[in-house]
């Protein structure tokens, strides 16, 4: 084995990893395997070669097509000198080739590192140098390609950049057309269990993205459990959504999970409300998986009723998603309009994909993230006493299962310290505050850095932002804690609101907003300070609200005073 393990945080700091019996049985007594062979090629052996694996606009890509193209990718990588455990990045807009690239990297025995197409140069350079990526696949459209092109001078280890849809390229760029000329036969290189298979970088909500290393059996377990228990997939299913397949959640949705279960994916060129209706109908989507933003945008669309009348959505059996709080209001509205619930889930890059979900609870509850997925155990721990919380008490989410936190530990940005904070007695601590009711339903309260501590209460910004965003004047809003100048309450709840067009800031409007909020939340959670802004609120590339940036601005303001 290469020295790959030297980049993984020390073994003493790892969480407990428990591979469920059923996954263990699937693995049998094998000591090594190739994930692409298990997830993709098995479909060929089991007679699904002619079955559609990917729906993309008007294209239909069969399992055999995907098998062949991924073999070509693997042959290409071998020829340019990629070896076992080398890291190969891909930043590709959604298209079937991106999925083939992922499987090709795996088949070559290399480690895929998806790079978010929405990242800017800063994040691309950081991730490429941090993971010591040797080659990157990129799509040639300006939007995806330009930032990579600009990053090239700052790359330290990247030798080749393979570009689709562009010709006449100079070193280090190579045309993806060369891939098509390779042989469509390849013997996948197996990787030992207990060694890295995939590196996924986090969203970077709290700072620069962190590399999460997932070993062969971790990835296999997540793929197995999410498909079986969260989405309950059969070969007839089509899992669709707008998320980029070359990043975290979309990677699980579009590059991994459905294929293991012989199902198909519908990957979208991008999100629009009409795309949702069109692709559900045309591709026969059965499982829709997305970040909450897509649900909110669909519900807010002025043509919603018209679309509902026009399109046949009868294939759809499950709407699910996570990544950010969805909010009970959105879930209720969806139920009213679509006659079906949204099964909210919680996932994290550190856990590969979803690990808590309403789909595994007896029935979905709006506002809750559900129950732990089979294979995972959850504790809710009081951060002060370290004891388990009583029902409805807010505490730190501890989780344990077949996946867990092992950060990529590059010498220039060692994550040993972060690792130690994130694993307590074998439990993964994702940094989320939650509570669990008497029926076992877990509710997301706040990321720990966003938690507001006011008059002894722990308040999550989401519980105020969700109802606040329902006020007719509010275009978008964020809630943060700011220091109480009188030093009595610890922190005060502050709301920052961007108004919809046609509304002007006024004292009257503030009062109206507070009155509106009083109907939805407890008095002690009401914002003490309301600020109007005309600027869009800061967000990560994936659209997550960056309350950290708002707090930093607030601290600067305080200093200037």
- Site of interaction with Mg ion (CB under 5 A): 202
355 makes contact with ligand ATP (CB under 6 A): no
* Residue 344 interacting partner from ligand ATP, Mg ion, none (CB closer than 5 to 8 Å by kind): ligand ATP
Which of 52, 346, 381, 482 touches ligand ATP by CB under 6 A? Answer: 346
Spatial distance between the Cα atoms of 202 and 210, rounded to a whole number of angstroms: 5
123 makes contact with ligand ATP (CB under 6 A): no
367 makes contact with ligand ATP (CB under 6 A): no
444 makes contact with ligand ATP (CB under 6 A): yes
Q: Cα dist. 438→371, 380, 433, 443 in Å?
A: 12, 13, 17, 12
323 makes contact with ligand ATP (CB under 6 A): yes
Nearer to ligand ATP, 188 or 322 (CB): 322
Sign of the dihedral through C-alpha 251, 136, 170, 149: positive
Spatial distance between the Cα atoms of 281 and 30, rounded to a whole number of angstroms: 42
Q: Report phi then psi at 240, rounded to 5.
A: -130, 160
Q: Find the part of the chain contacting ligand ATP (CB under 6 A) among 223-231, 329-337, 341-349, 521-529.
A: 341-349
Which of 54, 223, 238, 430 touches ligand ATP by CB under 6 A? Answer: 430
248 makes contact with ligand ATP (CB under 6 A): yes
544 makes contact with ligand ATP (CB under 6 A): yes
Check: CB of residue 137 under 8 Å from CB of residue 99: no
Q: Find the part of the chain contacting ligand ATP (CB under 6 A) among 167-175, 222-230, 344-352, 517-525.
A: 344-352
Nearer to Mg ion, 211 or 467 (CB): 211
* Residue 325 interacting partner from ligand ATP, Mg ion, none (CB closer than 5 to 8 Å by kind): ligand ATP
Q: Cα dist. 387→55, 390, 393, 434, 442 in Å?
A: 49, 9, 11, 14, 17
325 makes contact with ligand ATP (CB under 6 A): yes
Instruction: Give the closest residue to 326 by CA, choosing from 294, 374, 281.
Output: 294
Q: Within 10 Å of residue 70's Cβ, how many Cβ atoms?
A: 27
322 makes contact with ligand ATP (CB under 6 A): yes
Q: How far is the CB of 362 from ligand ATP (least distance, A)?
A: 19
Check: CB of residue 97 under 8 Å from CB of residue 164: yes
- 3 state SS for 77-134: HHHCCCCCCCEEEEECCCCHHHHHHHHHHHHCCCEEEECCCCCCHHHHHHHHHHCCEE
Instruction: Give the closest residue to 265 by CA, choosing from 62, 7, 474.
Output: 62
Number of residues located near ligand ATP, criterion CB under 6 A? 23
Q: Cα dist. 475→503, 534, 540, 549 in Å?
A: 10, 10, 18, 19
* Residue 209 interacting partner from Mg ion, ligand ATP, none (CB closer than 5 to 8 Å by kind): ligand ATP
Nearer to ligand ATP, 210 or 494 (CB): 210
Which of 41, 65, 237, 324 touches ligand ATP by CB under 6 A? Answer: 324
Contact code string over 488-527 relative to ligand ATP, x by CB under 6 A: ----------------------------------------
204 makes contact with ligand ATP (CB under 6 A): yes
Per the structure block, which two tokens stand in for 136? 């990157």
DSSP 349: G
Q: How far is the CB of 348 from ligand ATP (least distance, A)?
A: 4
206 makes contact with ligand ATP (CB under 6 A): yes
Spatial distance between the Cα atoms of 50 and 53, rounded to a whole number of angstroms: 9
Site for ligand ATP in 36-75 (CB under 6 A): none
242 makes contact with ligand ATP (CB under 6 A): no
348 makes contact with ligand ATP (CB under 6 A): yes
What's the N-to-C CA distance of the chain in angstroms?
A: 58
Per the structure block, which two tokens stand in for 261? 């279960």
Which of 75, 144, 205, 428 touches ligand ATP by CB under 6 A? Answer: 205
Check: CB of residue 7 under 8 Å from CB of residue 408: yes
Binding site residues, ligand ATP, CB under 6 A = 202-206, 209-210, 248, 322-325, 344, 346-349, 369, 430, 432, 444, 447, 544
């Amino acid at each position: 084995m290469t020295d790959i393990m030297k980049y993984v945080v020390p073994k003493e700091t790892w969480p407990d990893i428990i591979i469920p019996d059923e996954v263990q049985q699937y693995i049998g007594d094998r000591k090594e395997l190739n994930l692409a062979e298990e997830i993709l090629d098995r479909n060929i052996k089991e007679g699904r070669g002619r079955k559609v694996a990917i729906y993309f606009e008007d294209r239909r890509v069969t399992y055999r097509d995907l098998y062949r193209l991924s073999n070509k990718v693997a042959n290409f990588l071998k020829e340019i000198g990629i070896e076992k455990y080398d890291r190969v990045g891909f930043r590709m807009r959604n298209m079937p080739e991106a999925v083939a690239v992922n499987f090709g990297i795996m088949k070559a025995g290399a480690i895929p590192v998806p790079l978010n197409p929405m990242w800017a140069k800063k994040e691309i350079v950081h991730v490429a140098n941090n993971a010591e990526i040797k080659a990157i696949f990129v799509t040639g459209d300006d939007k995806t390609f330009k930032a990579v092109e600009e990053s090239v001078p700052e790359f330290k280890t990247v030798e080749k950049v393979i570009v689709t849809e562009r010709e006449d390229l100079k070193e280090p760029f190579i045309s993806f057309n060369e891939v098509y000329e390779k042989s469509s036969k390849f013997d996948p290189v197996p990787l030992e269990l207990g060694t890295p298979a995939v590196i996924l970088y986090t969203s970077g909500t709290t700072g620069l993205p962190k590399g999460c290393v997932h070993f062969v059996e971790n990835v296999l377990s997540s793929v197995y459990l999410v498909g079986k228990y969260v989405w309950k997939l059969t070969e007839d299913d089509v899992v669709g959504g707008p998320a980029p397949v070359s990043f975290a959640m979309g990677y699980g949705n579009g590059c991994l999970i459905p294929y293991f279960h012989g199902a198909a994916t519908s990957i979208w060129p991008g999100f629009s409300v009409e795309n949702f209706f069109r692709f559900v109908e045309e591709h026969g989507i059965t499982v829709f998986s997305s970040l909450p933003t897509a649900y909110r945008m669909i519900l807010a669309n002025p043509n919603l009723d018209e679309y509902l009348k026009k399109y046949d959505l009868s294939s759809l059996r499950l709407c699910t998603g996570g990544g950010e709080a969805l909010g009970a209001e959105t879930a209720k509205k969806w139920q009213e309009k679509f006659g079906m619930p949204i099964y909210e889930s919680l996932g994290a890059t550190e856990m590969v994909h979803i690990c808590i979900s309403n789909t595994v609870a007896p029935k979905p509850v709006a506002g809750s993230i559900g129950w732990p997925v089979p294979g995972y155990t959850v504790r809710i721990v009081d951060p002060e006493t370290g004891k388990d919380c009583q029902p409805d008490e807010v505490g730190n989410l501890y989780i344990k299962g077949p996946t867990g936190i092992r950060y990529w530990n590059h010498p220039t940005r060692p994550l040993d310290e972060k690792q130690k904070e994130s694993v307590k007695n074998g439990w993964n601590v994702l940094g989320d505050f939650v509570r669990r009711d008497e029926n076992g339903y877990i509710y997301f309260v706040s990321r720990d850095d966003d938690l507001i501590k006011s008059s002894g209460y722990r308040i999550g910004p989401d519980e105020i932002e969700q109802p606040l965003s329902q006020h007719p004047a509010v275009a978008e809003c964020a809630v943060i804690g700011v220091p109480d100048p009188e030093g009595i309450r610890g922190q005060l709840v502050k709301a920052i609101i961007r108004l919809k067009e046609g509304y002007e800031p006024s004292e009257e409007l503030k009062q109206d907003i507070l009155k509106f909020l009083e109907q939805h939340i407890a008095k002690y959670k009401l914002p003490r300070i309301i600020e109007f802004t005309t600027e869009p609120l800061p967000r990560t590339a994936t659209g997550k609200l960056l309350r950290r940036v708002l707090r930093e601005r607030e601290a600067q303001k305080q200093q200037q005073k």
